[in-house]
Structure 1
Amino acid sequence: MQVLSCVLLPTFPDSPGRKVAVNAVAIAAQLDAALDAAVIDVDIPDVSNALSSLLLDLPVKIREAEAASRSRGKHLLAAVATEAEQRKVTLTTQELKAAPGLMGEIAAREGRYFDLCMVGWARNSEALQSAAKEVIFSSGRPTLLLPDWENVGDLEHVVVAWDGSRVAARTVADASPFLERARAISVVTVVDEKALPRQDIAERLALGLKARGLHASAEALRARHNPIGTALQEHAEKIGGKLLVMGGYGHSRLRDMVLGGATEGILSDLRMPVLMSH
């Protein structure tokens, strides 16, 4: 059964770079997946009154912001279409609208119709990071965070962050399309961060993956008081990992997302493609 993937591209106040569009198509090609590219343009309610219109010309500013958002969206869709044609990826596209504060929520709702969500992550954009967080925790689908500054390349070496938890198990299952195509899988357990169910959990998961015909090995990692998200990414890069797979830990407290340490570290300092499930 073909994987149905989507790339979710909010365009206000910031938009992902062209690199995210290119990377999304590259991932779809690697998975032999169909791809839906959904840009989410801003729709700003006109709440101006006579005084604000006179002083700020607010309706004009709203139209300008909406036009800029649509323009960014069309450029992103054009980039996706060009790349999809070159890579022979089946592509559909759509243009959605959302109020300024609902970009992430609309993206998450749209992502529920697909097997895999892809979202861009940018170092200097709180808006894009917030939208990515919303998709991870509200879409109910595995979400692949794509850096906007480099080509992701072939995700042939997958690093699985494993602590034996329910969330981690869910993520490993969701990562099956990547694991089945990987040339190497490194199961990494951080052994000095928290109490673990037992000492050999990485070996047990690696053994199960090998029983399925996959090339898996187990490793223990000591964070040594470094932030857990940083330690995982640095280790993954050190051993040649191309994709980090990990659970997304967090819960909502009156709509403010309270994140686990590793999740917060990844979402604040992404260094490589990361697949998360919640």
Structure 2
Amino acid sequence: MQHKTVAYYVGVDADDASILACAETACNHNIHLNCVLIADLPNLPYLKYGSNRFVEAGLPSNWLDVLNGKNAALKSRATEVEALLVGQGVSANVIAFMGSGAELKHLVAGQANRSDIAFLDAELRKDPDLFHKIAYGVLFHSPVGLMINGDPFAQRDCIFLAWNDSLPASRVAHLALPILLAANEVVIGCFDLPSPDDVEGQAPGTDLAGWLSHHGCTVTVSQFRCGGNSIEHCIQERARELGADLVVMGAYGHSHLRQSVFGGTTQAMLEQTRLPVLFGH
């Protein structure tokens, strides 16, 4: 992770201690922080039908006041965060913006595009909707991986790589390669896949293990049965049993009623807070 740029997404209400902790570890690892301070736009004006049946705009009486207040708070907090980072001596820049919906996701992605990896501050979980919009923007509109929970710069002893032969899983393996190389052990976990006796060729995960081994990783391939449990439950249980300090997995999404949403396993792994996870799509 030397000389890397990390897109660090922070909410307006994030406390100083969290920001300073991230800044300190970034400084120790010679990492540049692209600190992205984000606020969700207040609910936009709506359309309504009047008594004359014509459509007219419905603007809450205090909407502009709320917008101006949030914008002022965002700018003020950005100035405070910039001072914190300067005082810490870390290489960093601070950008602040407000948005909603698709616009917000693309603004988020634009910052990730200029970074090597993205990390979400834990305080963003206080606003689940904003948290998921940022995560979706990074994962589905940018080429970088997304890290949640724990220290994004920590040395990993054992990494659990959830594998299912999909394109997202393959992509995250490539995105995570520098982190995998630095770990002492990588366990490739496959769930409810056909028995090697039922398929032609090598067992699932074997080709990936060979590729990682050629790079110098110490790799083990394990196959697990879910036994009726969800994939996300099995990933967390197996990772904890193995003592893994990071889970690496592909992220999946789908469109529902024209809204971008995560698939069930991705959603559940985003919501859990016990295990650090690196997602890629």
TM over 0.5: yes
Alignment-derived partner of residue 54 in structure 2? none
Matched, 1:143 2:146: yes
Query: Any unmatched runs of 5+ in structure 1?
Result: none
RMSD over equivalenced CA pairs, Å: 3.7
1:155 maps to 2:153: no
- Which structure 2 residues correspond to residues 171-182 of structure 1 after superposition, within 5 A? 171-182=172-183
Work out the CA distance in 1 between the residues paired with 2:24 and 2:157. 13
Equivalent positions of 1:118-267 (< 5 A) are 118-121=119-122, 123-126=125-128, 127-146=130-149, 153-191=154-192, 200-252=203-255, 255-267=258-270
Residue correspondences, number? 264
> What amino acid maps onto 2:221 in structure 1?
A
* Percent of residue pairs identical: 23
Moved more, 203-212 or 242-251: 203-212
Gaps of 5+ in 2: 46-56
Amino acid at match of 2:155: D
Letter of the aligned partner of 1:272 in structure 2? Answer: L
Task: Point out the more displaced range, 225-234 or 256-265.
Answer: 256-265
8 Å contact from structure 1 (residues 247, 276) kept in 2: yes
Q: Tell me how far apart the structure 2 counterparts of residues 18 and 197 of structure 1 sit (CA, whole Å).
A: 56
- Report Cα offsets for 1:50-79 as digits up to 9, x if no partner: x955xxx54443333233334444555555
CA distance in 1, matches of 2:24, 2:7: 12
Q: Per the alignment, do residues 71 and 226 of structure 1 end up closer, same or farther by CA in structure 2, a change over 3 Å counting?
A: farther
Q: CA deviation at 1:8?
A: 2.2
Q: CA deviation at 1:264?
A: 2.6
Q: Cα distance 1:75–1:255, how it changes in 2: closer, same or farther (>3 A)?
A: farther
Taking the aligned partners of 2:17 and 2:199, their CA distance within structure 1 comes to: 38
Distance in 2 (CA, whole Å) between partners of 1:125 and 1:189 is 33
In 2, the alpha carbon distance for the partners of 1:58 and 1:268 equals 31
Query: What is the SS of the residue equivalent to 1:238?
Result: helix
1:56-135 equivalence runs, <5 A: 57-77=62-82, 80=85, 85=89, 91-101=91-101, 102-121=103-122, 123-126=125-128, 127-135=130-138
